[in-house]
Chain A
């Protein structure tokens, strides 16, 4: 066996080291994200078809939604995505403490989103808007499944924060994965917000 690099040709020795190209976030998480976007896309198309069949009923129910809370939640999630993106930059630069704080801020925005969503649900249910109304059936299912994803995202963020305490060298990868998933949650919410709250 030879020592590393001892018998390499001169050209190989002089050329800069080739950096291994890899997909940020990893292939596994991209399968999750793209698949999730596809299936949510199917749900959205289904909603559009049912809405087209009963436009007046859907529009009448839609007016009961609190757009103010919807806008606030959108701003909260977009802000969380900004923190998440900054966390990736920080961890790539080796600023682990800063990255950890940014991930915690991302998670805090996620918790705030959840609290606002629970308040909104409580408010709608107490005013009698339940799943017996077709529009609200879609509303509770879409926002509920989104909330499940958000809870999963918080769990993954928690794993990433824990990884930042560790010294096994997986830091950029695990943070990229968690942030990739978080951006997907954000993207899904923007579409759900547009479909349920804004589209008339």
Chain B
């Protein structure tokens, strides 16, 4: 070892032990919260609420009323549960924003992502819950109104694309411009597929059946595969990024007195 090297080792041995930051533990907590929220979301939307796979878009008003009657209990239990835990979406968006703020591409993109996803959650999530809960808790209403709630819920849930498209574009740009390699570049390209499937899904407003209806192979099922792949990739990369954070990783924010 050189003299300079031994001197450096001595300096290090004399350094006081750095206090452990809580950041890493918080990241792991958010990692598990993210996984739990998306699992709960899948159970609520798919198994109980029956929004995915969706009901047929080419039904009459009486068929729509009969469908609500058949799935009343599942929709009520599943969607009330989702209304209670809806704040989990903010946690999920926040943790992605946290990692985006670690990127060299700038904080503005992180804020843009959080804002776009926050706005998108209203038509893409809350409106579906409110429409279908209204239909199942007020089953005595006019069939035409029930029919409207049926359509409004599904079209809002699957057809509200602008905010999500903007959010995914922002993530892709942030990753491609990032020099800190928080996420690998290929994840930006996976995110671009999300953008493409979101744009394609806009067709569902115009079609009542076929590959481009809201239950279509292209607008829904292939898009679902892409979304599932995106979530799986993100969880794996999230885990890796969380493991890379050590006690020496600087916090994003520190109290004024501790600087």
Q: Which residue of B lies closest to A181 (CB)?
A: B189
What's the minimum C-beta distance from B104 to chain A, rounded to whole angstroms? 16
Specify which chain A residues have a CB less than 8 angstroms from the CB of B46 in the assembled complex.
none
Which of the segments B47-55, B63-71, B200-208, B234-242 contacts the partner chain?
Answer: B200-208
Docked Cα-Cα span, A152 to B189, in Å, equals 11
Specify which chain B residues have a CB less than 8 angstroms from the CB of A28 in the assembled complex.
184-186, 188-189
Interface of A is mostly: helix
Q: Which one of A49, A131, A134, A141 lies within 8 Å of B200 (CB-CB)?
A: A141
What's the minimum C-beta distance from A61 to chain B, rounded to whole angstroms? 14
Q: Is the CB of B199 within 8 A of A148?
A: yes
CB under 8 Å from chain A, chain B span 171-209 = 184-186, 188-190, 192-193, 196, 199-200, 203, 206-207
Q: Is the CB of A32 within 8 A of B218?
A: no
Specify which chain B residues have a CB less than 8 angstroms from the CB of A1 in the assembled complex.
2
Q: Which residue of A lies closest to B206 (CB)?
A: A131
Q: Is the CB of B206 within 8 A of A31?
A: no
> Is B217 positioned at the interface, with any CB of A under 8 Å from its CB?
yes
Our count of residue pairs bridging A and B at CB distance below 8 angstroms stands at 57
Q: Is the CB of B199 within 8 A of A42?
A: no
Q: Which residue of B lies closest to A45 (CB)?
A: B217
Q: Is the CB of B189 within 8 A of A35?
A: yes
Q: Which one of B185, B186, B210, B226 lies within 8 Å of A137 (CB-CB)?
A: B210
Specify which chain A residues have a CB less than 8 angstroms from the CB of B231 in the assembled complex.
none
Q: Which one of B184, B185, B186, B218 lies within 8 Å of A43 (CB-CB)?
A: B218
Q: Is the CB of A138 within 8 A of B186?
A: no
Specify which chain B residues have a CB less than 8 angstroms from the CB of A36 in the assembled complex.
193
> Is A46 positioned at the interface, with any CB of B under 8 Å from its CB?
yes
Docked Cα-Cα span, A27 to B186, in Å, equals 8
The 5 closest A-B pairs by CB, nearest first: A32-B189, A31-B186, A28-B185, A28-B186, A46-B217
